[in-house]
């Protein structure tokens, strides 16, 4: 359920998406509020879950993570237990950057970031395919990333 946000909240969120390291005083200068007003609004946005966390955006290539793959997974046997096992496995894998349940031909789409093709092969062959419920795995390797900012469209 979406919460009601005013123009100041949207400006605050937009500024934080661009640079989460901004202080309340710096944010206040950008959006036209005092540091204490920014602090109260920020705390409310954190408490309501609109702001989930703060993190640094790291460059995968600079860290030797040069392969990004999108891996589609289809389960053979659909049950709550199989879905739970798959979800638990995927959420525990640090290489999986995103995991989505889908409609259509695929049940899941995973974004996986690894150092090389050998590492991708290990994940597919040693972790995904041996799962009892996994019927089919289809991977596509990204040749070039055109956009990777994960900024939500807040309007305005």
Q: How far is CA 91 from CA 15, 44, 99, in A?
A: 29, 28, 8
Counts for the chain of helices (H) and strands (E), in that order: 5, 4
Report the C-alpha gap between 46 and 59 in whole angstroms. 26
Q: What is the pLDDT of residue 155?
A: 76
Q: How far is CA 34 from CA 13, 20, 23, 40, 101, in A?
A: 16, 18, 11, 10, 42
Tell me, which fold does domain 61-141 have in CATH? Alpha-Beta Plaits (3.30.70)
User: Is the pLDDT score of 156 beyond 60?
Assistant: no
**34-52 pLDDT, tens per residue?**
999 999 999 999 999 999 9
**106-119 pLDDT, tens per residue?**
999 999 999 999 99
CATH of 7-47, one of 3.40.630.10, 1.10.10.1100, 3.40.50.300, 1.10.10.10: 1.10.10.10
Which pTM was predicted? 0.88
Region(s) of the chain under CATH 1.10.10.10: 7-47
């Amino acid at each position: 359920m979406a919460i009601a946000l005013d123009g100041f909240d949207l400006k605050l969120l937009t500024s934080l998406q661009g640079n989460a390291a901004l202080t309340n005083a710096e944010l206040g200068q950008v959006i036209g509020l005092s540091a204490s007003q920014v602090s109260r609004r920020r705390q409310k946005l954190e408490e309501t879950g609109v702001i989930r966390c703060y993190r640094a955006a790291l460059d995968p290539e600079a860290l030797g993570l040069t392969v990004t793959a999108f891996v589609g997974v289809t389960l053979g046997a659909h049950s709550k237990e199989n879905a739970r096992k798959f979800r638990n496995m995927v959420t525990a894998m640090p290489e999986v950057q995103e995991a989505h349940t889908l409609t259509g031909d695929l049940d899941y789409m995973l974004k996986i970031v690894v150092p090389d093709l050998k590492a991708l092969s290990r994940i597919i062959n040693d972790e995904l395919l041996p799962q009892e419920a996994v019927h089919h795995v289809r991977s596509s390797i990204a040749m070039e990333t055109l956009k990777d900012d994960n900024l939500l469209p807040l309007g305005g």
